[in-house]
Structure formats: structure tokens, C-alpha cells
Amino acid sequence: MHKVIYDTDPGVDDAMALLFLHRHPEIDVIGITTVFGNASVETTTRNALFLKREWDIPAPVAKGASVTIDAARAEREWPAMVHGDNGLGNIEVPHTIDLPLDPRPAHRFIIDTVRANPGEVRLVAVGRMTNLAMALKEDPEIAGLVKDVVIMGGNFYVPGNVSPVAEANIHGDPEAADIVMTAPWKVVVIGLDVTSITTMSRSYLAAMAAKGDGAVKLLDGLSQHYIDFYTHAVDDGMMVHDSCAAVYVVAPELFTTITGAVRVVCGGIADGQTVVKPDDRRFPPGDWDGLPSQIVATGIESEKVIDLIRDTLLRA
């Protein structure tokens, strides 16, 4: 079993990835940590509790960061046009969910859980990297105790989605992302190079919902606003960004990767850009030298990924 802490900002595609992680027979979700991003951390935490309740997920939920690790950064508006005003596609969600939160802040939950399960925890982070960076700053030794970190974020050989060069999760807290990428642990970066070409059509999702249980029907409902947003880029469907990272946990063979040190640009017109120095390329001395070699996804078997998502979600 893969022991997973899911660091998330639900978020429509976050919700699909959560249901995938919950239902895959080889994954044990041992914690859900929330972060600001697709909405405020109050809203993303409420959404995580809502999905936990609706989908009967036993994992505890810990509330995380509400601002960037560099507090001087000005917050941008929440992307309501993508995920809806409530983060879940404007479906009806109660203002409060009568479930307890873990008493620890998310970064402390991560530290304690990793230390209680040395060498076993896989961090699947699909929002801003703030919680992970805070955990590293408070307890740097956890880098040697985590099995690996699988993130949805970044872009290397394709354009960004919030600027010509930056992807949203990284752009939302570049300093945190650079801390995570350069720490001495294994990071797998599942970015727009592969997620932007992995799409699920409205009809495919509807067929899943017709065949599936109430959880899949709820997922179909909360995805409609998100699909409507993607009409500029996808033919009546949506990119399943976060689910690609979840799939990597159990099916890395569906991805083509390269290795190399990764840095994140912090500031200027390229703010949030992710840059890899491939291990098989030589350059003059620079800011990538002496850093850990990470794994960057550059290719994906999209149809097989989509089918694996479907087959997993239909496991009631």
C-alpha cells in the first residue's frame, strides 16, 4: 500500500484526484492537508471536509497555509472563473461541515506523520507548495524520511497557464516551490507538459456518472462549471491536471520522464517559471549546480491514464 498525504486546495480537479486516491486499492490516504489557492484556505478546508463526508473518507483533514511563505507577496484574486465562487463548481455546499479538523496545522501534521512512518509516506501535492516548504523550514530532516513528493505543477517545454512561462500552482508561491524543488528529497514534477494533453470529455464523464454511484455523480455535477471554463482549450471537456499526479503514484510506467536539477524563478516577468537542467546536458557553472536531481514528466500515455481514472472511480 502507498501511504499518501494529499496536499490540496479543492478545487474541481483536486476533487477527482481525491476520489481516485481514496478508491484505488493500492493507496491508503492517511491525511488530507489543505492550502489556499483555488479559493481561500477557509473555503478549501470546508470543501475537503465536505468531500470527506460525502465520500466517506476516513483520513483526517488538517488546515494549512493561508498566505505565501514570503508574506510580502500580494495575494491575487481567487480563480472563481475556473472553479466557481465556492471552489467546487458552484454546486450547493453547506457553509460549515460538522466534522472535526485535526488540531495541528498542516505543516505540523506532515512532519508528525512522516516521522511516525519513516520512509513510507508519499506526499502528493496538487496546489501551492506552501505547506511543504513550511514543513521543511521547521524540520529539515523530514526530507530524508519522506519516500517521495509527487507534485502537480510547473511547465518546462510548453507555455504556462497563468503567464506565458508559469503554471498556476507554482506561480502562486514561487519561493515555496523553489524550496521544495531544491530540498534533498525525491520530487516528481507532473506539470503542464503532460496534464494539458490529458483531457476528459463531458460525455466520458457523464457515462461514468451514469454507471457509477453517488460519489461519481457528485463529481460529474461539480465538474460542469470547470468544463465550461475549458471551452477555449478543450473540445467540450476538461484537463485532469491533479489526477495525473495521483495516477503517477500507482502507474509511473505511463509517463516519460527526464531527470535534472529544478529551479523556480522568483520575481520579474518570469515569476513562477520552472527550469530544469537535464542531467545529460553540460552548462557553465550556475544556480542549478550541486542540487538534487529531480524527476520531470515530459510525456504521458493519456488514454491509458484516463481509462485508469475511470476504472478506479467506478470501484464502489
* Torsion sign over Cα 41, 247, 223, 82: positive
Q: How far lies 254's CA from each of 50, 191, 302, 304, in Å? A: 31, 14, 8, 7
On whether the CB atoms of residues 298 and 157 are closer than 8 A, the answer is yes
Does the active-site annotation cover 2?
Answer: no
3-class DSSP state of 166 = strand
Rounded distance between C-alpha atoms, residue 258 and residue 277, angstroms: 10
On whether the CB atoms of residues 309 and 247 are closer than 8 A, the answer is yes
**Amino acid identity, residue 115?**
R
On whether the CB atoms of residues 261 and 293 are closer than 8 A, the answer is yes
Rounded distance between C-alpha atoms, residue 18 and residue 303, angstroms: 20
Q: Say if strands 61-62 and 274-278 run parallel, antiparallel, or are unpaired.
A: unpaired
3-class DSSP state of 262 = strand
On whether the CB atoms of residues 198 and 300 are closer than 8 A, the answer is yes
Rounded distance between C-alpha atoms, residue 82 and residue 182, angstroms: 30
- Peptide bond before 11: cis, by omega within 30 degrees of 0? yes
Bridge partners, 239 (sequence order): 199
Active site members:
241
